[in-house]
């Protein structure tokens, strides 16, 4: 990770540690960088999407100012999902894509995610060059003048083509299926309903009235209780909850129970294996996946890889080895045949496919995955690296690991997107998980790392 960009872009509180000036400089650099080797009269093309946060408009205009000042053409998708920017960038000859979103974070945070022309997350080498420019370490960039100044293009049609692509992936009609959608007052607020309506579902939509400050507020994949209630009250067949930029999806089965990313990986992995299409007989998980997933995969005869947390690392492993499905417990699921990044609405479509093709409910499909008690707590800190590497904190972690032995595990890691250290314990009893997580957090607090 660089100074500004983490595992999922440059993220921070709007106008505090992520400012309009940062966005302008990123635009200036990208417009120059991708335009520097163009033939005379040709301009680079960069596509931009944003979520529904109040500050997303400010960052959009700042990016556009920087891009056009450097001679680039900025194509605006307006409010859309992160995976739609990835899709448009890789299918419509753009030099790169930009998504303005802080994903599942609260509304006052925002982020700038950079996507290359293949629809993948931007490479580290380019990211470091951008950071050097932001810090004034790489010299001045010339302004475009006269006819070389860039322009903006309203490109809502790109978003519409993405919607058409999603619809084309369904294998059967959703007629007579009652589906709940929690759009998190974010990027999916119009797109998800359009897709499921077009496929014939009877849709029940909640949290689809964004006002700039209610994105992710007690809704979406991080607060799935509302969708669980909706599914049970309305007797729905299934529910799908997205996060702010709709690159995540968690499911709710017909009984109101959550089907998380681990279960989704299991369900689709088994589906591919049964059809002889599970490349390498492997799925890709992260170190945060539950013990229960691995037990179920072993029973199904499916092998697995483990990566660091972050769908970036999951995709890199999948791409290098040709694997077809992988993701995170949080709902970032990658179906590599169809997308180069996590896509919440695509995930929902794939779960509908398995349900319809196998003629089973989501509860039946997820039943073989036992869920081991797992407690994860976040603590906001002044210095993530210092807190995690403190000798006393490491000693506490080691002591918990020794107590758990082969019956559980502890994982302490820095968030790649927030000033947070995450402490996770998995064991046979939830009370034990709580006890050991609190032991480690108490040490972090006593050593003075907690942010007031």
Domain 374-446 has CATH 3.20.20.70: no
Q: Is 311 annotated as a binding residue?
A: no
Q: How far is the C-alpha of 74 from the C-alpha of 30, rounded, in Å?
A: 11
Q: How far is the C-alpha of 283 from the C-alpha of 333, rounded, in Å?
A: 11
The stretch 243-266 carries a mean pLDDT of 98
Per-residue pLDDT, 415: 83
Identify which of 267, 233, 234, 242 has the alpha carbon closest to the alpha carbon of residue 362: 267
What pairing do the DSSP bridges indicate for beta strands 420-426 and 409-414? antiparallel
The stretch 11-22 carries a mean pLDDT of 97
Cβ count within 10 A of residue 382? 12
Q: Single out the catalytic residue among 103, 187, 221, 289.
A: 103
Q: Is 243 annotated as a binding residue?
A: yes
Residue 103 annotated in active site = yes
Residue 295: partners with Cβ closer than 8 Å, 6 or more residues away: 370
Q: Is 194 annotated as a binding residue?
A: no
pLDDT band at residue 1 using 50, 70 and 90 as cut-offs = low
Fold of 170-366: Alpha-D-Glucose-1,6-Bisphosphate; Chain A, domain 3 (3.40.120)
Q: Is 245 annotated as a binding residue?
A: yes
pLDDT tens, residue by residue, 261-297: 999 999 999 999 999 999 999 999 998 899 889 989 9
Q: Tell me the whole-structure pTM to 2 decimals.
A: 0.90
Q: What φ, ψ does residue 344 adopt, rounded to 5°?
A: -65, -45
Which class is domain 5-160?
alpha beta
Task: Taking each helix axis as running N to C, give the angle between helix 344-358 and helix 82-91, from 0 to 180 degrees, rounded to the nearest 10.
Answer: 90
pLDDT tens, residue by residue, 162-189: 999 999 999 999 999 999 999 999 999 9
The stretch 21-29 carries a mean pLDDT of 98
Residue 369 contacts residue 266 (beta carbons within 8 Å): yes
Q: Do domains 5-160 and 170-366 have the same CATH topology?
A: yes
Q: Which letter, b or e, does each residue of 8-45 get, where b requires 16 or more Cβ atoms within 10 Å of its Cβ?
A: bbbbbbbeeebbbebbbbbbbbbbbbbbeeeeeeebbb
Provide the percentage of residues in the chain whose pLDDT is more than 70: 100
What is the residue-averaged pLDDT of the chain? 95
Per-residue tokens: 207:
């949290």
Sign of CA dihedral 161, 117, 21, 243: positive
Enumerate the domain spans of the chain. 5-160, 170-366, 374-446
pLDDT tens, residue by residue, 347-363: 999 999 999 999 999 99
């Amino acid at each position: 990770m660089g100074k500004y960009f983490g595992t999922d872009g440059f993220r921070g509180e709007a106008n505090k540690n992520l400012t309009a000036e940062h966005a302008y400089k990123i635009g200036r650099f990208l417009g120059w960088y991708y335009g520097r080797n163009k033939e005379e009269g040709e301009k680079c093309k960069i596509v931009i999407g944003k979520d529904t946060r109040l500050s997303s408009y400010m960052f959009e205009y700042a990016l556009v100012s920087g891009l056009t000042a450097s001679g680039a053409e900025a194509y605006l998708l307006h409010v859309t999902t992160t995976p739609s920017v990835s899709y448009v960038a890789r299918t419509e000859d753009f030099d790169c894509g930009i998504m303005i979103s802080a994903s599942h974070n609260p509304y006052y945070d925002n982020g700038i995610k950079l996507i290359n022309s293949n629809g993948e997350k931007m490479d580290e080498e380019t990211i470091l060059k951008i950071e050097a420019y932001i810090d004034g370490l790489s010299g001045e960039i010339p302004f475009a003048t006269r006819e070389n100044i860039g322009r903006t293009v309203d490109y809502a049609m790109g978003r519409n083509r993405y919607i058409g692509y999603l619809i084309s992936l369904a294998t059967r009609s959703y007629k007579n299926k009652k589906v709940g959608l929690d759009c998190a007052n974010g990027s999916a607020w119009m797109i998800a309903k359009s897709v499921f309506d077009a496929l014939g579902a009877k849709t029940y939509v909640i949290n689809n009235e964004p006002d700039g400050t209610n994105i992710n507020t007690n809704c979406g994949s991080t607060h799935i209780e509302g969708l669980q209630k909706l599914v049970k009250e309305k007797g729905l067949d299934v529910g799908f909850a997205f996060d702010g930029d709709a690159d995540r999806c968690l499911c709710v089965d017909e009984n109101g129970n959550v089907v998380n990313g681990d279960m989704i990986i299991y369900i689709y992995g088994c589906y591919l294996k049964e059809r002889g299409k599970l490349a390498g007989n492997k799925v890709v998980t992260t170190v945060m996946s539950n013990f229960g997933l691995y037990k179920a995969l072993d029973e199904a005869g499916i092998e697995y890889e483990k990566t660091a947390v972050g769908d970036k690392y999951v995709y890199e492993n999948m791409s290098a080895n040709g694997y077809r499905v992988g993701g995170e417990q949080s709902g970032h699921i990658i179906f590599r045949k169809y997308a180069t990044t996590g896509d919440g609405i695509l995930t929902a479509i794939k779960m509908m496919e398995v349900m319809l093709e196998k003629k089973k409910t989501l509860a039946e499909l997820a039943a073989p995955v036992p869920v081991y008690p797992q407690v994860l707590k976040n603590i906001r800190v002044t210095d993530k690296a210092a807190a995690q590497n403190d000798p006393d904190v490491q000693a506490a972690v080691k002591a918990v690991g020794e107590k758990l032995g082969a019956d559980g595990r502890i994982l302490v890691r820095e968030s790649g997107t927030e000033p947070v250290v995450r402490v996770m314990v998995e064991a046979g009893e939830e009370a034990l998980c709580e006890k050991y997580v609190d032991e480690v957090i108490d040490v972090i607090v006593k050593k003075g790392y907690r942010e007031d």
